[in-house]
Structure 1
Amino acid sequence: ARAVVEHCADPKKLGAKTLFATHYHELTELEDTLPGAVNYNIAVKTRGEDIIFLRKIVPGGADRSYGIEVAKLAGLPDKVVARARTVLEELESENGVQYVKPRQEARQVSLDAVGEGEVLDALRRCQPDTLTPIEAMGLLYELKRKLS
């Protein structure tokens, strides 16, 4: 996958503007090393093991993979989803990564909580060292608007 991205982005080989959708988190690091590479993701609100896609494309890479949750939304049988979680836990333990179950939240989510979630997501993705003063001010106004 990385070779494909590099080939598409290289102006001496292809140099094409390319939309590349992937679940490989390693590819999000290319934004820092590959000229022209930019990450975007779909804003998500989590509620326990449930996810809500907010239908908003935002800058930055995804904070984690949502493959199992998407499989559940797609209607895969509960046994398949449960097996996927087991396999994920096994793979992560082999790699020294601890599986963290999604935190449980109240079933009812207010509109304020969705706005707060969007603000927190934006803050997590924000790279203050790369913002100009005017971009930083614009970001603050946008975050304030979302909380209002």
Structure 2
Amino acid sequence: MYSIINFVSDISGASLIGGIIGSVMTLVFYYWFSNRERKIDTLRRFMGHKSNCDRTQFNVALNEIPVTFANASKVLDAFKKVLVQSQQNTIRDEDLIELIESMAKNIHINMGISKNQLLRFVTLPDRKPNPPM
């Protein structure tokens, strides 16, 4: 005969196991999500400052790549090419595009633009304020 004590112990065991499984799944998802957010932030700053005259933020983003994408061999290979060229003050556009594309592929982002468009400097002209009425 199934007693109330057995029923309570079965529910407690199931609740404990469910709680543990839920906690582990939350930790795994949080690690994956925060890692992806760091990669997106690095790519965003890299793209946002690639044509800026003040290269400080571009260099910061460039120097974050080996740490942020440490487990992505294709990104690191492309980074090494750019690093060697940057020490010689000559970075080929093709290698810079390869680096950008490898970072985007690693975080599963389809930028939807061509290779030619990746390096173009995008800016809007200064907008003149509307005259008061």
TM-score (norm 2): 0.28
Larger strand share, 1 or 2: 1
Larger Rg: 2
Larger helix share, 1 or 2: 2
